[in-house]
Chain A
Amino acid sequence: MALRVLVGCKRVIDYAVRIRVKPDKTGVVTDGIKHSMNPFDEIAVEEAVRMKEKKIASEVIAVSCGPMQSQETLRTALAMGVDRGIHVDVSGKDYELLQPIHVSKILAKIAQEEKCDIILLGKQAIDDDSNQTAQMTASLLNWPQATYASKIEKTNGELQVLREIDGGLETVRVKIPAVISADLRLNEPRYATLPNIMKAKKKPIKKVTPGDLGVETDPRIEILSVEDPPERQAGIKVEDVDTLIAKLKEVGRI
C-alpha cells in the first residue's frame, strides 16, 4: 500500500538574518527581509520526497499557512519534488496571532480531506520556536506522534522511528496513520535544480482559507510586547592561564 504524505512548510525569516525588534515593540521587522522555508520543514519535505522516491509514498502534498508569499515557499517544496501544494491564506493581524493550535486544526482537516496516511512536519519553526504543531495535529486526529525523528523506517503497517531525546536516542514504533516531526539529523535536504524549479512552476497550488476548511482562527493570545533580550556586556581579556584561574577564584566560580 503506497502512502499519501502531507508535509508542512512554513515561510520564516531566513536563519542567517539578524533579527531586529520593531521600535514600537509589537514584533520583529519582517518587511524587506529575506525569508525562506523553515529549515526543519525543509528536512520534512526532503524525507517525504525520499519516501516517494522509495515508492513508500504515492503522493506528497505540501501545505503552507500564511500570506501570499507562502506560495514561494510552496514552490520551493514543489521544486524539491513535492507533487502539489495547498496554500492556506492567512494574512495581516490574523497571521500575527496565528498559533500552532490553529495550524494543527488546518493540517488535521486537510489530512482528512486528502486521505493522508502520514503527516511530516519540522519539529519547530525557527521564528516562534513553539515545537507544538506536530503533537497537536496528532492529538486532534487521534493519531500517534513520533517527534524529533532522526531516522524513519517503514515496517508492516508501522513506522519505526529513532527519536532524539535529551539524554540520547529513543526508538518508538507507531501505527500508520501517524504524525512525525523531523529533527536535524534526519537527512540533508537537497537543493532544487534549475530544471526542477522550472517544472515546479507548472505544478498546481490550490488556495483555500481557514474558513473554507471550517477552522476558526480566533486569537488565543495577546502580544503585550516583543523586546530585545538583555544585552550581555563583554568582559575582559586575561593574559594567561594563571590570571584566568585567579579571576575565577576572585568571583567564586572555582
Chain B
Amino acid sequence: ESTLVIAEHTNEKLFPVTLNAVTAANKIGGDVACLVAGTKVAPVVEALSKVPGIKKILVAENEAFHGFLPEALTPLVLATQKQFNFTHILAGATAFGKALLPRIAAKLDVSPISDVIAIKSSNTFVRPIYAGNALLTLKSRDAVKVLTVRGTNFEAAALDGGNAARENVPSADSSQNLSQFVGQELSKSDRPELTSAKIVISGGRGMKNGENFKLLYDLAEKLGAAVGASRAAVDAGFVPNDMQVGQTGKIVAPELYIAVGISGAIQHLAGMKDSKTIVAINKDPEAPIFQVADFGLVADLFKAIPELTAKL
C-alpha cells in the first residue's frame, strides 16, 4: 500500500485538516507521501517536513495553481499518480478536498468515497449517510481508492519529530483556460477556526438578532473559543453562512460545545453530536438539544451568558 495525501494550505500556512488526513493515511498502512501544490509553498513544505508519518513531500510550484482550482490541480495529481502508482489518494473532507477529489477520481474511473470517519482496512471504510443518521460500512472494489476524510474523526499528526524527504514532481501541463480564480472574501476573526477549535459556542434563533451574538463573542474571548451558529440563526440573517454548524454547514467535534438558544433540530445535531462534552443553555426545558447535552441549563440566555462570562 502507498498513500498520497493532498495538502490543503494557503501557500503560507498549512490547514490543520491535512494533519488529520496524514493520521488517516497512516491507518491504511504503507508509505505516505504528501503533495504540496501551490505558487510558493516553502513555508508549508517546511512545516510538513517535520510531521512524523510522512515519508516524502512532493512539491509542485506553478503560477497555474493560484486559487487552487480543481481544473489546474487535477492534471498534476494524475501525473503524480502515473509516476508513483499510489493505492490511495486522500484529502480532508473540506470544500477544497470535496471539489477536487471527485474530479481526479472520474479521470481514474474510480468511485470516490466521501467523508470517511473510520478506516477498517485498506479497502473498507465507514462513512455517515443521511446526515449522520446512519453509518455505512463499505468495501471499495476499485484498484485505487480516492477518499476524503473527516478531520474531526482522526487525531491530528504531530508537528515535530518527523523528517520527510522533499522531491519536486515533474510539472504536468497545468495551464488551463477553463476556469479562472477571481478572489476570496474570507471572514476575518481573531478567534480560532470553527472546525479545529477546542471549544465552540454556537447561537441559535434564541439569540434574537445579530447584535446579541456579541454576548457569545465576549464569552468566546474568555474561553479561547470559536463561535458558530445554527441554520435557523443563519437563515434569519443574524450571522454569515460560514458560521453555520450542521448538516448543511460545518461538522465540528470540539472538546466542549456550548449550544446557546438552539432548539436542536436534527440538521444541527448532525454537525455537532460528536463533540466530547455538550452544554445546552435554553429557556425551553423541552428543547430537543437537552437530549444530547451532558449538562443542560434551563435559563434565559440573556442572563446566563453574561453571568457565565463574568464568573470565568
Size bracket, chain B contacts: 35 or more
The residue of chain A having its C-beta at the shortest distance from the C-beta of B69 within the complex is: A172
Contacts of A144 in B (CB 8 A): 71, 178-179
Assess whether B291 is in contact with A234, with CB atoms less than 8 Å apart: yes
Which residue in B99, B182, B311 is a CB contact (below 8 Å) of A147? B99
Known: A144-B178, A175-B177, A229-B134. A242 touches B311 (CB 8 A): yes
Assess whether B184 is in contact with A136, with CB atoms less than 8 Å apart: no
CB distance from A247 to the nearest CB of B (A): 5
Assess whether A222 is in contact with B183, with CB atoms less than 8 Å apart: no
Assess whether A224 is in contact with B74, with CB atoms less than 8 Å apart: no
Which residue in A137, A171, A227, A247 is a CB contact (below 8 Å) of B184? A171
Which candidate, A64-72, A79-87, A127-135, is the interface stretch facing chain B? A127-135
Contacts of B114 in A (CB 8 A): 129-132
The residue of chain A having its C-beta at the shortest distance from the C-beta of B71 within the complex is: A144
State the CA gap A21–B178 with chains docked (Å).
43
Which residue in A165, A173, A223 is a CB contact (below 8 Å) of B182? A173
Within 8 Å of chain A (Cβ to Cβ): is B279? yes
Contacts of A168 in B (CB 8 A): 184-187, 240, 242
Assess whether A221 is in contact with B111, with CB atoms less than 8 Å apart: yes
The residue of chain B having its C-beta at the shortest distance from the C-beta of A221 within the complex is: B138
Within 8 Å of chain B (Cβ to Cβ): is A244? yes
State the CA gap A226–B133 with chains docked (Å).
10
Assess whether B137 is in contact with A227, with CB atoms less than 8 Å apart: yes
Assess whether A222 is in contact with B290, with CB atoms less than 8 Å apart: no
Q: What 1/0 flags go to A134-168 for Cβ under 8 Å of B?
A: 01111110111111101000000000100111111
Within 8 Å of chain B (Cβ to Cβ): is A208? no
Assess whether A145 is in contact with B292, with CB atoms less than 8 Å apart: no
Interface hub of B69, B295, B307 (most chain A Cβ within 10 A): B295
Within 8 Å of chain B (Cβ to Cβ): is A253? yes
Number of interface residues of A (CB under 8 A): 75
Which residue in B112, B124, B250 is a CB contact (below 8 Å) of A224? B124
Q: What 1/0 flags go to B113-133 for Cβ under 8 Å of A?
A: 111000000001000111111
CB distance from A46 to the nearest CB of B (A): 17
Within 8 Å of chain B (Cβ to Cβ): is A54? no
Contacts of A21 in B (CB 8 A): 134
Assess whether B106 is in contact with A254, with CB atoms less than 8 Å apart: no
Which residue in B124, B185, B298 is a CB contact (below 8 Å) of A237? B298
Known: A169-B184, A175-B179. A241 touches B308 (CB 8 A): yes
Assess whether A237 is in contact with B133, with CB atoms less than 8 Å apart: no
Within 8 Å of chain B (Cβ to Cβ): is A53? no
State the CA gap A219–B86 with chains docked (Å).
22
Within 8 Å of chain A (Cβ to Cβ): is B102? yes
CB distance from A130 to the nearest CB of B (A): 5
State the CA gap A235–B101 with chains docked (Å).
39
Contacts of B156 in A (CB 8 A): none
The residue of chain A having its C-beta at the shortest distance from the C-beta of B257 within the complex is: A253
Q: What 1/0 flags go to A160-195 for Cβ under 8 Å of B?
A: 100111111111111100100000110000000000
Interface residues of B in 237-267 (CB under 8 A from A): 240-242, 247-248, 250, 255-256, 266
Which residue in B71, B141, B182, B311 is a CB contact (below 8 Å) of A222? B141
Assess whether A226 is in contact with B136, with CB atoms less than 8 Å apart: yes
Query: Other CB < 8 Å A-B pairs besides A131-B102, A221-B111, 15 of them?
Result: A28-B134, A101-B111, A129-B131, A164-B95, A164-B242, A166-B250, A170-B67, A171-B184, A172-B180, A174-B178, A232-B273, A234-B292, A234-B296, A244-B279, A253-B255
Pick the 5 closest A-B CB pairs, nearest first: A235-B294, A220-B111, A139-B106, A135-B102, A144-B178
- Chain A residues in the interface with B (C-beta under 8 A): 13, 18-19, 21, 28, 99-101, 104, 126-133, 135-140, 142-148, 150, 160, 163-175, 178, 184-185, 219-229, 232, 234-238, 240-242, 244-245, 247-248, 251, 253-254
- Chain B residues in the interface with A (C-beta under 8 A): 67, 69-71, 74, 94-96, 98-107, 109-115, 124, 128-142, 177-187, 193, 195, 199, 223, 240-242, 247-248, 250, 255-256, 266, 273, 276-279, 285, 290-299, 304, 307-308, 311-312
